[in-house]
């Protein structure tokens, strides 16, 4: 069963590049993971329609962390992507973070 990791940032543009890197790594290792990026303005619609297994926020919207955790934290793990990992577009580290969050999450 595929796990879904969704990244959200202010416009979804820079996060799209990181999501592509993460998806490439996932594909290289034949991991059953789908990584997608969206604008934060679509978070309610996307969560309702697709039910991800992990939500990662871009550093530029980290101020929304508590609000997102309050809304969705009981059904899915939520965290902010490390600024250094985001800035260097380290898809492997961010993918590992998402996988760890999914494995450790208790509903």
How does pLDDT run across 75-91, given as a tens digit for each residue? 999 999 999 999 999 99
Predicted structure pTM score: 0.95
User: Which tens digit of pLDDT belongs to each residue from 19-28?
Assistant: 999 999 999 9
The mean pLDDT value for 37-58 works out to: 95
Q: How many residues does the chain have?
A: 107
Q: Which residues are catalytic?
A: 9
Residue boundaries of the structural domains of the chain: 3-104
The CATH code of domain 3-104 reads: 3.40.50.2300
Q: For 60-84, what is the mean pLDDT?
A: 97
**pLDDT band for position 14 (cuts 50, 70, 90):** confident
78-80 sheet: strands from edge to edge: 33-39, 3-9, 54-57, 78-80
């Amino acid at each position: 069963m595929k796990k879904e990791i969704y990244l959200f940032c202010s416009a979804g543009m820079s996060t799209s590049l990181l999501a592509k890197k993460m998806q490439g790594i996932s594909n290289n290792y034949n991991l059953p993971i789908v990584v997608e990026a969206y604008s934060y303005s679509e978070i309610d619609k996307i969560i309702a329609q697709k039910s991800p297994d992990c939500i990662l926020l871009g550093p530029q919207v980290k101020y929304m962390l508590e609000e997102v955790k309050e809304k969705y934290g009981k059904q899915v793990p939520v965290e902010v992507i490390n600024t250094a990992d985001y800035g260097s577009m380290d898809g492997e580290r961010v993918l590992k973070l998402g996988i760890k969050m999914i494995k450790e999450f208790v509903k």
